[in-house]
Structure 1
Amino acid sequence: MNSVVISLKILIVEDEDSKLVEWQDAIDSHNADAENKGYTLDYKVAKSITDAEKILELFRFDAAVVDLRLQKEVGVADNNTDGNKLVHYIIKAQPMGVAVYTGQRGDADVANYGSPQVEVMDKGDGFEQVFIWLEKNKDIFLKLRGVKAIYNRETARIFYKSIWPRWQHWNLDLTQDLTEVVARHIIAHVHDALLVAGGDSTHPEESYFVPPMKERLDTGDLINFNDRRWIVVSPRCDLANQGKVKTILLAACEDISEVWDPLFISTSKGSKERVKKLIQHDGSLKQHFLLPMRDGISGSKGPWMVQFDDICALSADQALNNVVNLRFASLSPMFVPSLVERFGAYFSRIGTPGFSSE
C-alpha cells in the first residue's frame, strides 16, 4: 500500500521566462519521484511585486521563493533589488517560509528582514538547495497549515455562535472602526476554547514571548542584568504610565536546570513526584516556579525559581530607559497573574510574634 505523499504549496517569484522553464522542469522531475522525495510541489508563479501581492491575497502558501531583481510591472524590465520589498511584505503579512533565491546574494537585505529564518541562496548553486530547504522545514510548514485550519475552525464556530449575534448591533455605529476590537474578541474566544480543548494544559513555550512583544518594560519581562537573571514584578499600571513611580522592582531568578534536567528525563515515580513539587514552587511561599524555554537560536534556558526575598530596586529612569534592551523574554499574559499574586501574597503576609515559654 502506497504511503500518502503530502503536497507543499509554494509561490515562485521570478521574472525571467527562461528561469521559469528551468523551475518547471526541476519541479516536474521532483514530483515524478515524489514517493522517494516525501512530498510533491504545487506552485504558482509571479513575475512582479504587484503580481505576487495579488496572488498572496487570493491563495495561501507554505513557502515563497523570491528572486531579488523583479519587474515593477509584468512585462516591464527593470534592474533592481525590489525582491527585498516583497520579502518584507511577506514577513509582515503572512506566516510562511521565505527563501531568497538570487544571483545577487550580496544585495539581500538580511540585516533588516527581522527573521533569521529567511534563507538566502545563490542561484549558481542550483535548485536542489531549495528542495533540501523545503524538506528540512516541511514539518514546520505542515504544522503551520494545521494551525491555520484549527484557527479557522474555531473562529467559524465562535463567529456564528457568539461574535455575529453580538457585534452586528455595534455595526450600526459607523463612527467607530471596530475591526481590531472584534479581532481581539475573536482571538480571546479562540484562545480559551483551545485551552479548554487541551484539558487546560500548556506547552512550556506557551509561557513566554521571545523576544518580548512590547517596546516598553512590562510586568513579567525577563532580563539579563549585572550577570544575573531577573524578572520585573512591579505592577503593570506603574510601568504603563512613565513618571508614576520612582522605583521599579526586579526579583532574582535562580536557575534550577541542574536539578530539573535529570529529574525531567527520569521515568522513576520518585522523580516525577519531585518534578510536580518543583512546579508547585517547591512548597515555598518565597519563590515562584518558571518553566524552561528556548531562545530564538534554540538555546535552552531555565527553568528558574523566582526569589521574592532577593529583590533589586532600580530607579524608574534607569529601568525604563536602560534595562529595556536587556530583556530576552517576557511571560505571556496567561502566566503573569500567578506571578504577581504570589509576589503580593509574600509581601502582604503579617506573621505573628514568636512564642516564648520563659
Structure 2
Amino acid sequence: MTLKKIYIATGFCADKEGEESHYPQVGLKSSSLKFQQIYLKCIVVFFATSIRHNPNAHHVLCTNLEKLPDIGNTETENFLEQLGVEIVRLPFTFEPPDNYFDSWKSTFYKLDLIKYFAKICDRDEAAVCLDSDCVWIDSIEGLAAEIQRSGYVTYNTGFNEKYKISHLNRRDLSQLYRELGLSLNEEIPLYCGAELIAAKDKNFQKLLGEIEHGWEFSLERFRQNKTKFNTEEHLLNFAYNSLQAPLGNGNAYINRIWTTLGGFNNASDRHLSLAIWHLPFEKKYGFKRLFEKVVDLQSEFWQLPDKELVVYLSLFFGIPKRTPQKLIVDTMDALRHRSTKIISKMTDPRLIN
C-alpha cells in the first residue's frame, strides 16, 4: 500500500518588535525586514526545489503573518501561490515565555506545524516538515516509503553523549526523560534533529500528545528555575523516545551539511546521493543567489532537465566542494554582512546613550 497523499511543509514565524530572539547564523534584529527576507528567500528556494522533484506532493507554508513581506520586486506570497504552495495562517501557540531561553524562540513554531498536521492528516496520508534552509535534490519517493514502513522518520545528528546541545547533553536529557517516567535503564538515547519531522496519519496526534506533556513539564520547571527542555528539538526527542520511534532511519535521505567559510565543512561526495540537503550556513549565501534564479521562471533553474539539476545546485552550495568562484562571492558577501552588523549596532537606539 502506498500513501495516497503527502504534504511537504515548512514554517515562517516572524518575531514581533520588542520580542526578538537571538539567531546566531543570521545575526540581525529578528523583527527586521532584512532578517525576514533572508528566511523568505530560503523558503522560496525550498519550495521551488521540492516542486521540481515532487510535483505531485501538496506543498504547505505555515505562517503567523497575515501577509508575507515582498522581496524587492518579487511579491512573495503571490509567487509562492503561483508555484502551487498553499499558505496556511497558524497562530504561535507554543511561544515560550519571556527569558525562557536565550535563542531560537521562533523554532518552537515547528510544534504548531505538528499540531496542524495532527488535525488534518488522514488515513494513508503523511507530512514531511522541514527547516526552510533545506534544498531538495531528489524525489521524496524513498523517504515516503520509509514513512509508510516505520510510521515516523527521524534524523540522527550523531552527537556524542557529552556534547552540549542548547546547554544540555544527551545525559542531561536522559535524566529529564526519567523524571517524566521513561524507563531507560542505563541507556543514553540518540539525539535527533528537528530539521526533519515526518510521520503518517494518526502518528502526528501521538507525537503532539507527548510534546504537550513535555511542554507542560518544562513550563513548570521554568517557573521553578530548574533544568528543563530548552528548545523544540529537546521536546521532540523526548516525544520520540516516549513513543519508541525509530531514531535515525531518515539519515539515508537528509544530512545537516556545514559549508562554513573558513570553518567547519563536512560536505562530501556522499551527499550527492541524498534527497535533501540541510544547509544552515548558506542562508545568506547560496540561497540568496539561487533565489534570483528561481524567481525568473525563464532561468536555467526551471529549464534544466532533472539529471542536470544536482550539478547546477551544487555550484550554489559548494557540495561536494566550494568552487573558486563561490569562494570569492562568499567572501565578499561575508565582508558585507560584517559591515552591516557593525553599522546596525552603531545605530541601534537601545545602545545609544
TM (norm. structure 1) is 0.25
Larger Rg: 1 or 2?
Answer: 1
TM (norm. structure 2) is 0.25
Q: Name which structure has the greater RCO, CA cutoff 8 Å, separation 6+.
A: 2
